[in-house]
Structure 1
């Protein structure tokens, strides 16, 4: 029997971006979207067009660039949001409007303050309006896993009748249990007369660590044929279903699932590393599929078994998910054309030849200091280059720092502030504390530092250090990322990067489904 197709709907750029501090620039979103297209994702939810002008612009840019995937925008179930989504998606070859409305008693009463009849009517009319712009309309019943089955059947039957082609029943708060959630999807499909007119989808959150299990139960027990997920399981609170886990479960256990996928699994690890680098959310070492230890064997018994027969302890091959992708690609003798070609292979597009030349100069500087250049180094380097030329309020120039046992560390930092170069001094309990205090003596942001983390971009003592600083101010939380061979310099870059994001006035709405 021919395998059914499982649609992979990636929402890294929308739901993933709702992780506190994970907001991305338009250029970063475009880079991730291109990698998702290379990965073979069927649907890319590029954002929420009505949230901000920045989101609208990002969706429109992605819609004009992506050819092989459907580009989707989220919208609330109202005409203004839907029209805005349609406008942003206009350049897309294949486009989807994804509209949502809460259906659980709790959400209807406490959040929407609407009666069930009002929710029913608004859902129906929203889908009808969206169908004016595209034949591909998805409807999500927010907090679906806690909705009353009879009412959910009534709403979903109506939106299918109005032309919804995908029906998503989200486990919005991660409350679902696999067997129960799967049985609920199956019951809805059996009870709703026109259920066969739409593709059924699952969207699960990981609050109880059950997102992947719930999604797979929705597929196998419920008959869903679309899974909504994110790279690295990125997302609000405990995150979303991890794309890499769903894909490799389906692929590795094809004997059980018997489902077909469009995904090029060798692009999973490159996608994971790109999203991690851009958002500043490091992947835990023991994370399934994409963690640094996912294919490491410390036990002598395991090592012996793998050497004798790989499948004794490995159910997947590391190279099948892209772990071989970070081989040395360039060195200090590499020319500009080789560098430019590698940028193209990494789906990195710089706006002008001047930008390519500037990035190449930074590459040569790095190659003089580091003998082996990996893909991750190039990604970090280009990201730094974009920040340096992004008309940012703060920009790192240089620093000197002194630490000595028994003495309080000091730092002198030079950076530009609104185009004017300033130098400042600070001291602290450590070199990073001294740098932050120096910068704050001029910036005076009064932001609270929530997180400071250091991650090696590649392996070895020559690896660039990637620093993430998470700041909070006035209810806003932002991540700043900086990379350098000197982690002290990387820390200064990360702090200034975070200050730039706080400086930005782009506010976003954060609907959650």
Structure 2
């Protein structure tokens, strides 16, 4: 059994199924390049058959990424597989990931197929995929609720058809670690030629055990884990890549394998995905949360000062946190700013984009004495080169005092033309949103409003996330500013602008 654990990242496919997390082609390329720097083994760039946009996104990632395998998902039907094969054609190394459901409830209620038909379709899909690539992965959807004897038959058949990786997904997050580990080891023991393939798992987090289940699968013999940055994904999410990687690396006394991941790129990857999707990272999130390496207790602080390992099992620097995160100031020049962005893995599309970003940086530097890495990540948030900016904030004035009704007055440009809005509200943010809607008249529903402090101190930027829904479309918008009302307006407008971009694509659940 190999001692390398293959990391299969599905942030751009399964992660994109999170409400409002749809990514553009250029955003996927940015994430793909960061995952390549992270040294992810396999990047699932999307579901090529879902739409022309998804096809082009998978192809663009395949063209941009040279060191990692680029993969497309495909149902076990001819059209899907041919689209996937065409999409990954430019890749230095390409994979087709095909799947079909194997549980009784899925076969009967969803597929309306007999077990024999499922096996027949699975075999045909793998054989067709082999016409495009030698790297073919097969997933038995809802494997955890599938009959083990039937799983053995399916896996035996697809190995003979040419599958090189077999995935045992916990599609609905139903398993517990002991049972999943046992299922993997049973399948490896029972399926003929099981030593000729890589065994994989893909765990959802509905019961909060995706990472634990994935690690149990590794203990049972799996040598590929499918996961996402920040645990992003359908419903409660997926197993978090950063937690899988660091658990295996930290507990080498338990796990007889390791990954090839460059862990110093974990935090930059987390920040980038958070910016692009509009999903903030909770402060107490393991590895990448702002508090992950913070010690408040006096006893803990004393212990760490005396000997770090008394309370820390990892070093913050090893996963990409900068021990000295103070970066630039108001006197910093354009070249220093550009160099720092490159160090953080933030790509600038053109000199024009750099100049615009540098102008925003100078404006922020006039407001804040100290600018940290987190401020720069937030500064660049939402600056995708293909972003549609139909609505733009030009001027805002908000009046709020105790005992009086808050009043917001705004000037926006709408398709380049200035318009003015004014409204009262229950608070300054409510008044601001109502003033925006007086101009935009978007007919959207506000699903989420959240605020996070980016750094410490009273001059810290606030990062606001707004989730809007309209006609079954859900988008996330982000904004950041030292003035939380301005940040809120920016986030709301960012979400409105996304609603006027290309619609998000639908994806099958795996």
Interval containing the TM-score (normalised by the shorter chain)? over 0.9
- Flag the 1:384–1:106 CA change in 2: closer, same or farther, 3 A: closer
Q: Is the deviation greater in 66-75 or in 418-427? A: 418-427
Secondary structure of 1:73's match? strand
Aligned to 1:102: 101
Partner Cα separation in structure 1 for residue 341 and residue 299 of structure 2: 42
User: How many residues end up aligned between the 2 structures?
Assistant: 510
CA distance in 1, matches of 2:389, 2:57: 18
Q: Describe how 1:274-423 pairs up with structure 2 within 5 A.
A: 274-324=272-322, 327-386=325-384, 390-423=387-420
TM-score (norm 2): 0.96
Deviates more, 1:131-140 or 1:495-504: 495-504
Question: 2:22, 2:505 within 8 Å by CA — same for their partners in 1?
Answer: no
* SS in structure 1 at match of 2:326: coil
Whether 1:453 aligns to 2:461 is no
1:502 to 477, 499, 504: 499
- Distance of 2:241 and 2:415 partners within structure 1: 40
**Corresponding residue for 1:79?**
78
> Which moves more between the two structures, 446-455 or 292-301?
292-301
Runs of 4+ displaced beyond 4 Å: none
Q: Secondary structure at the match of 1:207?
A: coil
Q: Which residue of 1 aligns with 2:91?
A: 92
The 5 A counterparts of 1:174-323 are 174-221=173-220, 223-323=221-321
In 1: Cα distance, 2:2 partner to 2:140 partner: 28
Q: 2:35 matched to which residue of 1?
A: 36
Shift of 1:326: 6.8
Q: More deviation in 286-295 or 481-490?
A: 286-295
Question: How much has 1:189 moved relative to structure 2?
Answer: 1.4
How far does residue 98 in structure 1 lie from its aligned partner after superposition? 0.9
CA contact (8 A) 1:52 1:506 kept: no
* 2:393 alignment partner, SS class: strand
Contact 1:63–1:92 (8 Å) recurs in 2? yes
Higher mean C-alpha deviation, range 378-387 or range 225-234: 378-387
TM-superposition CA deviations, 1:463-496 (whole Å, max 9, x none): 2211101112233222111122211111111111
**Are the structure 2 counterparts of residues 277 and 198 from structure 1 closer, same or farther at C-alpha, using a change threshold of 3 Å?**
same
Q: Provide the rounded CA distance (Å) in 2 between the counterparts of 1:91 and 1:159.
A: 26
Change (3 A) 1:288 1:14: same
TM-score (norm 1): 0.95
Contact persistence 1:31–1:347 (CA under 8 A): no
Q: SS of the residue aligned with 2:418? A: strand
SS in structure 2 opposite 1:106?
Answer: helix
Asked if the contact 2:395/2:412 (under 8 Å) is kept, the reply is yes
Return the offset for 1:183.
1.0
Alignment partner, residue 161 of structure 1: 160
Alignment of 1:46-85 (within 5 A): 46-85=45-84
CA pair 326-496 structure 1, distance change in 2 beyond 3 A: farther
Give the deviation of 1:505 after TM superposition. Answer: 4.5
Determine helix, strand or coil for the equivalent of 2:410: strand
- Is structure 2 residue 474 aligned with structure 1 residue 480? no
Asked if structure 2 preserves the Cα contact closer than 8 Å seen for 1:266 and 1:321, the reply is yes
- Specify whether residues 266 and 476 from structure 1 end up closer, same or farther in structure 2 by C-alpha distance, changes over 3 A only: same
